[in-house]
Structure 1
Amino acid sequence: MRAPGIVHHGTRRRRAAYRRAVWSGAEALVTVGVVLLLLVVHQLWWTNRQAQHNAERKVLALEREWGSPSVAEGVNGEESAGSSDGSDGREASSPTGQRRQGETTGTTDTTGTPRARPDLSQAYAILTIPRLSLRVPVAEGISKPSVLNKGYVGHYQGTQQPGQAGNFAVAGHRNTHGEPFRYINRLRRGDTITVETKGAVYTYAVDKTLPQTSAGDGGVIRSVPRSGVRPSYGYGEPAYYITLTTCTPEYSSKYRLVVWGKLRSMRPR
């Protein structure tokens, strides 16, 4: 018969192995938790900080380019600071209708002036929404790596340019990477949206909002926009439209939120 209080060496070894296994598992869980936390911080904070800084620099570069050649080139004739992507912030379209290298001729704007199409991924306009304290570059195309993830708003290729008859349609992130369109659900009818190019300033007024539609609802960016999923939302006649699109609900890309506006005024720069 085994005496009370005596623990065999085999039992001790099993208990020690069990404790080591539990401890190792706990360490692994803590490590995984820390890694996940760092990934969340990177995605939600660092990408926003980086993209917002990048977008602000591009806005300043465009403003310098449009202000005057002497300012754009620097006081001592040195090249001005461009955006973090290495471009110099030059706008693609020429108000005089002249083509620059790498451009193709576009259609005309409200003044009848020929417009040139910007190169893909090139920032060429500034979108401002006073209600949201938003001022962000607009680039050609909606590529995530070269446009949206930089904190820019992307212009849907195939839709019209600012001031042209039809639909000037753009997209922007709602969360992470600068999230320029995070709060466009707060826009109300009559709020202003301004789009500046080198040649003119176009002011649109918010008119309608489609709270939710499918990610593939291409009708919302047509020349005369109307949802193909919810046909009661949209328009039935040609005009000068602007369309803002982003993902919804927040932190999801399952659906799209759409805001439409109409051109209210245009003035040369």
Structure 2
Amino acid sequence: MRAPGIVHHGTRRRRAAYRRAVWSGAEVLVTVGVVLLLLVVHQVWWTNRQAQHNAERKVQALEREWGAPAPGSGDPDASAGPGAGKDGEGKSAEGKSGAGGGGRSTGRLSSSGAGRAGVDSGRTRPRWSQAYAVLGIPRLSLRVPVAEGVSKPDVLNKGYVGHYKGTQQPGQAGNFALAGHRNTHGEPFRYLPRLRRGDTITVETRTAVYTYTVDRTLAQTSPRDGGVIRPVPRSTVRPSYGYSEPGYYITLTTCTPEYTSRYRMAVWGKLTAMRPR
């Protein structure tokens, strides 16, 4: 007969230590997983809730400041606005495009080469990061503040839409260009791809309501494609997209695809009506 195996106390201790190490490692992994899950929930859900609530309160504050929301602002009974430039082929506007905006889903693009003309005489230039208008998109059931600048902490992360410095103001000849988050922080432009030609976009200010009509969409371009926010918007990456003559334009930009900041998309519209508040 074979003698029964002898298990030394040292072997038992090593096995027990190994089991404790495995168990402790599993606990650490579970804890890290829970923390990461909470961070994702905070980023995707809580920041959205905070930013959306903040944006809604700001819209209400602007309406109180102006007296009341403009009646029928989604489809104002307005006289025809200035005619936009005719579509057509032509050479793309020349000029350098600066570095693209960095943050996740901000939709920022370089404004280098954008309109240099100032605001109309008699108008006050909005202060940096100040909300001064309300953007309305009926198809998306969206009403969101428009603030000066495209800073993430001061504008976009608050759930606002940001106005590119150097582009025109609402109703002015040239290009009124805006950026907004597609995901997180209120994500006002999450459903921007749903816009179709003929949809209306309104911009309400203290003194007037401007109605733009969606005309064209550039589904994907580089973050460095500053041509899409020039006074006569035309992509420098895909020159077949854009315009060749001056007009009264609006440009909405955001990141694409969802949950990435690899590319940008742009929606263009033309001013079709305006009226005083």
Alignment check: 8 A CA contact 1:118 1:124 kept = yes
CA distance in 1, matches of 2:122, 2:210: 16
Alignment check: 8 A CA contact 1:121 1:141 kept = yes
Q: Which residue in the other structure is 1:164 paired with?
A: 172
| TM-score normalised by structure 1 residue count | 0.83
Q: Which residue in the other structure is 2:64 paired with?
A: 64
Residue 159 (structure 1) shift:
0.1
SS at match of 2:267: strand
Q: Which residue in the other structure is 1:76 paired with?
A: none
Q: Which residue in the other structure is 2:16 paired with?
A: 16
CA distance in 2, matches of 1:263, 1:2: 97
Alignment check: 8 A CA contact 2:250 2:271 kept = yes
String of CA shifts for 1:199-225, please: whole Å, max 9, x gaps: 000000000000000011100000000
CA distance in 2, matches of 1:194, 1:114: 22
Cα gap change, 1:47 to 1:2, in 2 (>3 Å): farther
Residue 62 (structure 1) shift:
0.1
Consecutive aligned runs of 4 or more in structure 1 exceeding 6 Å deviation: none
Instruction: Percent identity, please.
Output: 84
String of CA shifts for 1:136-193, please: whole Å, max 9, x gaps: 0000000000000000000000000000000000000000000000000010000000
Q: Which residue in the other structure is 2:71 paired with?
A: none
Q: Which residue in the other structure is 1:42 paired with?
A: 42
Q: Which residue in the other structure is 2:276 paired with?
A: 268
What letter is aligned with 2:65? E
CA distance in 1, matches of 2:245, 2:58: 36
Unpaired runs of 5+ residues, structure 1, are: 69-104
Residue 133 (structure 1) shift:
0.4
Alignment check: 8 A CA contact 1:192 1:206 kept = yes
Alignment check: 8 A CA contact 1:58 1:137 kept = yes
Q: Which residue in the other structure is 1:73 paired with?
A: none
CA distance in 2, matches of 1:54, 1:32: 31
CA distance in 1, matches of 2:174, 2:162: 17
Q: Which residue in the other structure is 2:4 paired with?
A: 4
CA distance in 2, matches of 1:2, 1:202: 97
Selected match of 1:212 from 220, 223, 228: 220
Q: Which residue in the other structure is 1:97 paired with?
A: none
CA distance in 1, matches of 2:3, 2:50: 70
Selected match of 1:244 from 252, 268, 274: 252
Residue 5 (structure 1) shift:
4.6
Residue 4 (structure 1) shift:
1.9
SS at match of 1:116: coil
Q: What is the number of residues matched between the two proteins? A: 229
Residue 116 (structure 1) shift:
1.8
Q: Which residue in the other structure is 2:80 paired with?
A: none
Q: Which residue in the other structure is 1:82 paired with?
A: none
Q: Determine if the alignment matches structure 1 residue 191 to structure 2 residue 199.
A: yes
CA distance in 2, matches of 1:187, 1:20: 58
Selected match of 1:107 from 115, 119, 127: 119
CA distance in 2, matches of 1:40, 1:223: 39
What letter is aligned with 2:56? E
Residue 10 (structure 1) shift:
1.4
| TM-score normalised by structure 2 residue count | 0.80
String of CA shifts for 1:88-115, please: whole Å, max 9, x gaps: xxxxxxxxxxxxxxxxx9532xxxx632
SS at match of 2:250: strand
Q: Determine if the alignment matches structure 1 residue 134 to structure 2 residue 146.
A: no
SS at match of 2:124: strand
CA distance in 2, matches of 1:18, 1:35: 26
CA distance in 2, matches of 1:5, 1:259: 78
What letter is aligned with 2:46? W
CA distance in 2, matches of 1:7, 1:62: 80
What letter is aligned with 1:131? R
Q: Which residue in the other structure is 1:53 paired with?
A: 53
Alignment check: 8 A CA contact 1:106 1:115 kept = no
Alignment check: 8 A CA contact 1:106 1:116 kept = no
